[in-house]
Amino acid sequence: MIAPHGRPHRVPHPLGARLRGAAGWLPGALTLGNVLAGFSAIIMASQGRLAVAALLVLGAFFLDGLDGRIARMTGTTSEFGEQLDSIADGISFAVAPSLFAFFAGLDGLHRIGWAVAFLFTACGVIRLARFSAGMQDPRFFIGLPSPTAAAIAVCPALVTGGERIPGPYVPLYAALVAAAGLLMVSKIRFRSFKDLRFGRQPYRVLALWALVIAGFVALGEWMVPAMIAVYLVSPLADAVLRRRGGLQHPPAQDYDRPVPAGGSHDERA
């Protein structure tokens, strides 16, 4: 077909147009999948199906990391998407893990268990609100990311095979849940790994994935707790390395001021 100005007129490819159209709703669909996973985890935990509930929370963790990356890759980020993502994270990483912890054993502590579960929920939503209201160094999260805190709350079910926390260990579990909640609102800096680069050689990424898969094959249910433990001590290791290199982090308050007009957040935590 020849256009009026004499140049060939390109007919839009139907498949390409469909893919571009799908890019607009795919991140939102993944965010709703995050909500579904968190909501389903609450129901499963209330029915005593703790292993399924734990896997659902971990699945929400995966979806939360995927939706934002796809939105940025396809250029479909928006203020609506950020707000939807924040509400979804509140359900999946604040409410669902706290109720999971309550049904997994904190209910045996009666009012103390109720208080610990509420503390985790409150710290989770405060963490999300603080992230929404301030800007951060893209290399770091100020405070423990809420998905990681949620994983801390549910990973004991992976170790127990989906059984409730044994009575003698419930106080220790309560302390773990409370500590995870307080870490979310702390000033401790945790690496975001957004600046991690593997170069152009794909074998480095494949080797890393092979290592992770081998760990799951060998350690099974202990792999997630081990990865969380490594991440929790990473701020200490980072501080030691920076001290040896004579480097200092910028002041924390530099990244807690309001977002300037027209600014946007790179990723929800």
pLDDT tens digits, one per residue of 210-257: 777 777 677 767 777 777 887 788 777 666 666 666 555 554 443 333
Strand-pair category, 140-142 with 189-191: antiparallel
- Average per-residue pLDDT for the chain: 78
Residue 16: is its pLDDT beyond 60? Answer: no
Better pLDDT: 123 or 197: 123
For residue 228, the model assigns a pLDDT of 82
Better pLDDT: 56 or 83: 56
For residue 185, the model assigns a pLDDT of 93
At 8 the three-state DSSP class reads: strand
Number of H helices, E strands in the chain: 9, 2
Per the listing, tokens 């170790």 go with 159
For residue 150, the model assigns a pLDDT of 95
CA distances from 186 to 110, 127, 148 (A): 27, 9, 14
264 pLDDT tier (thresholds 50, 70, 90): very low
For residue 27, the model assigns a pLDDT of 81
In angstroms, the CA 172 to CA 163 distance is: 16
For residue 101, the model assigns a pLDDT of 96
Q: Mean pLDDT lowest for which of 60-74, 87-101, 142-156, 164-178?
A: 60-74
CATH topology of domain 22-197: Four Helix Bundle (Hemerythrin (Met), subunit A) (1.20.120)
For residue 110, the model assigns a pLDDT of 92
Task: Tell me the sheet residues that pair with 180.
Answer: none
In angstroms, the CA 189 to CA 250 distance is: 11
In angstroms, the CA 248 to CA 245 distance is: 9
In angstroms, the CA 189 to CA 140 distance is: 6
Residue 123's CB: how many other CB atoms inside 10 A?
A: 24
The DSSP H or E segment spanning 117 is: helix 111-133
Residue closest to 113 by CA, chosen among 173, 168, 180, 42: 173
CA angle, residues 114, 144, 137, in degrees to nearest 5: 145
Compute the average pLDDT of residues 21-38.
82
For residue 200, the model assigns a pLDDT of 63
In angstroms, the CA 82 to CA 89 distance is: 11
For residue 211, the model assigns a pLDDT of 76
**252, HSE (Cβ side, Cα atoms, 13 Å):** 11
Compute the average pLDDT of residues 106-134.
91
261 pLDDT tier (thresholds 50, 70, 90): very low
Better pLDDT: 95 or 133: 95
At 23 the three-state DSSP class reads: helix
At 198 the three-state DSSP class reads: coil
Amino acid 144 reads: L
Compute the average pLDDT of residues 19-36.
77
Q: Mean pLDDT lowest for which of 36-40, 60-64, 204-208, 242-246?
A: 242-246
For residue 178, the model assigns a pLDDT of 96
Per the listing, tokens 């979806």 go with 63
At 207 the three-state DSSP class reads: helix
Reading the block at residue 206, the tokens are 């494949």
In angstroms, the CA 118 to CA 98 distance is: 7
Whether the CB-CB separation of 34 and 60 falls below 8 Å is answered with yes
